[in-house]
Amino acid sequence: MPIAEIPYFDVIIIGAGLSGVGAAYHLQHDCPEKTFVVLEGRGALGGTWDLFRYPGIRSDSDMYTLGFPFYPWKNPQAIADGSAILEYIQDTVKTFYLDQYIRFNHKVSRAEWSSETKKWTLQIQSNDHISHPTIQCSFLFACSGYYDYDQGYEPSFEGSETFQGRIIHPQKWPTDVSYATKKVIVVGSGATAVTLVPELAQQAAEVVLLQRSPTYIVSLPRKDVVANFFKKILPAGMAHSLIRWKNIFFSQIFYQASRALPKVIKGIIQKGIRKELGENFDMQHFNPDYKPWD
């Protein structure tokens, strides 16, 4: 029996999330002579924005920075909900016919480089969707993010096995959970907690956030008034580029000011917190022992 030839591509992209879709567009547009394929381990587009379904999920960067310059963000919300970002990714794939390059349920289990052949050899986990468990390329582009998509980190809490309530990891948020009228504790104060807590608080009887140490919190409007004005008066591509550089500029200014005048910036941040929360709260929960941007 003849040995089946191993499929070969000039480039293999791992992951069909925001980065993988962007990489696929640029290869199609800028390197039309190259062959490539996108291997997605799951059965859907979107990566992070399809995997995470917890209440309140949204971007923590504006979509003019996070989005594609070749397909400008149209939604008036600069800080967007997860569902809007997923729709944007799906629309990008449809608009530029990128779905022809994507192979779902192709999870790479191993990748080996050969200096002799100057090729990568990839092994794909076996399932009913796989026609070739081995595939080769000259350039491997990993757009797989930094999450463990199978199992998010769960610290061990002594006595958790006897807890009568539910312990939920936001990476695997169940569809049947009801937190209305319940007391909820959220462990951690990162981006996930900041988006999750306000949503839980709308229905739960009580929400408590436990943090190891305070973090800096700055409130920003979801809609960028300046960005929406630019989009009204300028062509879409020009507006997107201008807004993106505007945001980069102000981010750099904020960073440089934080490094040069940390006490001043800390005071401005805490003043903003007082404006949002009033006077009936304890500032120690918003008073990190490190300088802004440390």
What proportion of the chain, given as a percentage, has pLDDT over 90?
Answer: 59
Q: What is the pLDDT of residue 4?
A: 57
Interval 48-66 mean pLDDT: 89
What's the token pair of residue 292? Answer: 């802004």
For 142-192, the DSSP string reads E---SS-SS-------TTGGG-SS----GGG--TT---TT-EEEEE--SHH
152, pLDDT greater than 90: no
What's the token pair of residue 51? Answer: 């995997």
Interval 252-268 mean pLDDT: 96
Cβ neighbours of residue 167 closer than 8 Å, sequence gap 6 or more = 160
CA distance 286 to 216: 6
Q: What is the pLDDT of residue 146?
A: 82
160, pLDDT greater than 80: yes
Interval 277-289 mean pLDDT: 89
181, pLDDT greater than 70: yes
271, pLDDT greater than 70: yes
| Sheet of strand 36-39: strand arrangement | 102-103, 36-39, 8-14, 134-142, 119-124, 108-114
Identify the band that residue 155 occupies on the pLDDT scale cut at 50, 70 and 90.
Answer: confident
Phi then psi for 25, rounded to 5 degrees?
A: -60, -50
Q: Pick the closest to residue 28 from 20, 36, 17 (CA basis).
A: 36
SS3 content of the chain, % helix, strand, coil (to 5): 35, 15, 45
Q: What is the CA radius of gyration of the chain?
A: 23
Q: What is the pLDDT of residue 1?
A: 31
What's the token pair of residue 202? Answer: 């709308």
Q: Pick the closest to residue 41 from 169, 150, 121 (CA basis).
A: 150
CA distance 39 to 136: 12
In order of their start, the domains of the chain are: 8-142 (3.50.50.60)
Q: What is the pLDDT of residue 190?
A: 87
Give me the residues paired with residue 184 across strands: 207
Question: What is the four-CA torsion angle of 172, 107, 102, 20, rounded to 10 degrees?
Answer: 70
Interval 49-60 mean pLDDT: 91
Cβ neighbours of residue 149 closer than 8 Å, sequence gap 6 or more = 41, 42, 51
CA distance 284 to 213: 10
3, pLDDT greater than 60: no
Interval 212-229 mean pLDDT: 86
Cβ neighbours of residue 266 closer than 8 Å, sequence gap 6 or more = 216, 291, 292
Cβ atoms of residues 43 and 16 within 8 Å: no
Q: How far is CA 279 from CA 128, 206, 247, in A?
A: 60, 20, 31
Q: Pick the closest to residue 108 from 119, 124, 121, 128 (CA basis).
A: 124
Residue located via tokens 């394929």: 37
- The string of pLDDT tens digits covering residues 108-136 is 999 999 999 999 999 999 888 788 899 99
Interval 45-64 mean pLDDT: 90
Interval 221-244 mean pLDDT: 87
Q: What is the pLDDT of residue 168?
A: 92
